[in-house]
Amino acid sequence: MQHPTPKVKSESDFVAQLEASNLHPLWDRFRTLTPVKPQAKDPPLLWRWKDIERFTERAVREAAIDDVERRALILVNPAFGGETVTTSNLIAAFTVLDPGDRARPHRHTFAAIRFATHAEGAATIVNGRRCEMHEGDLILTPPMCWHGHINESDHRIVWFDAANIPLIRGLDANFFEPGDPKANQFWQVDEGDEKLWTEPGIVGADIQHAPVHSPKYRYAGDATRRLLAALPSGPDGARTVRYTNPTTGEAVMPALDLYMSRLPKAQATRPKRTTCNMICLVVSGEGSSTVGEHTFEWSQHDVFSIPHWTWASHKAIGSNADLFIVTDKSAFERLDLLREELQ
Ligand code: 1HN
């Protein structure tokens, strides 16, 4: 399907005169203004954990935590021409903290998350609640919630981060507030009100909460793994968990939406494409994915992107594989722009 060729051939001096008066003729711009379908700027890309890991040592030596806001290595697709973008609307990174490191408190309007890969002994404090970071735990830092990180273990810690910074920058809606790096009381908290949201299926009848994002900040890896083991397969052939706001059953945040898929071994999922964007972290297992015209083989802690409106199919090799998936799907739902197709 294409736009019809415009029948009007405008005199070029007319277009030039319009332009000089800050006017554009729609008939001349229609094709660029309204493409007939989404056209992702980026081809899909795979970042191998073993290539990232070799830089973590140097990052610790060269960037003292007290000199930097966050010690994160961001995954960038060169198709964005040097912009710090992983795929449209989203960025992913790995954060490195040495024993004793504290990443000072701050808050911002973009939404962010951490997923614990090698983070045993670390904690993220979110709005005065201490969230432990055991293997496979997900920690939300929703818009404008204060958060800081601490490594209280005797070993180096690495975790996976994701955020919707490119979306918020595109809207020019970013606000950022640094916290007080010397405020010791920030770190001296326990799980606090996180206790109100840990029991599945029950919530306090008289608890007030702002439903705009999840009031629960920590999603335990144990619980996710239990549910994945119990779930039937979905229409694409994978078993998929959506992380939800326990007060609404909807996505955890209005513009960042999170999933975990368990791929059965040796059976490719049905190819799917969607208008939203995805970043996949390989949590466990090995396998391959065909995304658009590219096929990637991946193993634990590799990361790959699925740009919007690009067919994607995944296959585990040997045994099951789990993919943690970061998307902007809830933003597309709210704008009534979500379209999905399954082959
Ligand atoms: C971020 O906001 C944090 O706030 C950590 O703790 C890592 C990596 C990329 C983009 C934003 C944080 C990040 C990040």
Distance from the alpha carbon of residue 160 to the mean position of ligand 1, in angstroms = 10
Q: Which residue's CA lies nearest to atom 10 of ligand 1?
A: 163
Distance from the alpha carbon of residue 161 to the mean position of ligand 1, in angstroms = 6
Q: What is the CATH number of the domain that holds 287?
A: 2.60.120.10
**Residue in 275, 263, 262, 258 with CA at minimum distance from that of residue 341:** 275
Give the pLDDT confidence score for residue 94 in this predicted structure.
Answer: 98
The atom number, within ligand 1, closest to the CA of 110 reads 2
Mean pLDDT score across all residues of the chain: 95
Token pair, residue 234, equals 């979905």
Three-class SS state of 238: coil
Q: Which residue's CA lies nearest to atom 5 of ligand 1?
A: 70
* Spacing of C-alpha 216 from chain mean position: 17
Question: Using a 6 Å cutoff on CB, does residue 74 contact ligand 1?
Answer: yes
Q: Please write the tens of the pLDDT for every residue from 295-315.
A: 999 999 999 999 999 999 999
Whether 2 is in a domain gets the answer no
Round to whole Å and give the CA distance between 236 and 240.
10
Give the pLDDT confidence score for residue 4 in this predicted structure.
Answer: 64
Q: Output the pTM of the full model.
A: 0.95
The atom number, within ligand 1, closest to the CA of 92 reads 9
Q: Which residue's CA lies nearest to atom 9 of ligand 1?
A: 93
Question: Using a 6 Å cutoff on CB, does residue 161 contact ligand 1?
Answer: yes
Question: Using a 6 Å cutoff on CB, does residue 72 contact ligand 1?
Answer: yes
Whether 15 is in a domain gets the answer no
Under 8 Å between Cβ of 110 and 165 = yes
Whether 228 is in a domain gets the answer yes
Question: Using a 6 Å cutoff on CB, does residue 93 contact ligand 1?
Answer: yes
Give the pLDDT confidence score for residue 181 in this predicted structure.
Answer: 81
Whether 91 is in a domain gets the answer yes
Per-residue confidence band for 19, with pLDDT thresholds at 50, 70 and 90? very high
Whether 80 is in a domain gets the answer yes
Question: Using a 6 Å cutoff on CB, does residue 241 contact ligand 1?
Answer: no
The atom number, within ligand 1, closest to the CA of 141 reads 4
Whether 124 is in a domain gets the answer yes
Q: Please write the tens of the pLDDT for every residue from 116-137.
A: 999 999 999 999 999 999 999 9
Provide the β-strand partners of residue 126.
129, 147
- Domains: count for the chain: 1
Containing 229, the helix (H) or strand (E) segment is helix 221-230
Whether 155 is in a domain gets the answer yes
Under 8 Å between Cβ of 286 and 226 = no
Distance from the alpha carbon of residue 93 to the mean position of ligand 1, in angstroms = 8
Question: Using a 6 Å cutoff on CB, does residue 75 contact ligand 1?
Answer: no
Question: What average pLDDT does this structure show over 314-340?
Answer: 97
Side by side, the strands of the sheet bearing 72-75 are 72-75, 91-97, 157-163, 112-118, 138-141, 218-219
Q: How far from 295 is each of 20, 35, 74, 238, 285, CA to CA, in Å? A: 48, 27, 23, 18, 17
DSSP state of 160: E
**Choice from 83, 86, 94, 95 to test ligand 1 binding pocket (greatest atom count within 8 A of CB):** 95
Does the pLDDT value for residue 7 go beyond 70? no
Distance from the alpha carbon of residue 271 to the mean position of ligand 1, in angstroms = 32
Structural domain harbouring 335:
46-342
The atom number, within ligand 1, closest to the CA of 148 reads 6
Distance from the alpha carbon of residue 40 to the mean position of ligand 1, in angstroms = 24
Q: Please write the tens of the pLDDT for every residue from 235-272.
A: 999 999 999 999 999 999 999 999 999 999 889 999 99
Round to whole Å and give the CA distance between 326 and 305.
10
Distance from the alpha carbon of residue 16 to the mean position of ligand 1, in angstroms = 46
Whether 30 is in a domain gets the answer no
Question: What average pLDDT does this structure show over 27-54?
Answer: 95
Distance from the alpha carbon of residue 296 to the mean position of ligand 1, in angstroms = 27
Instruction: Name which of 32-36, 111-115, 314-318 the model is least confident about.
Output: 32-36
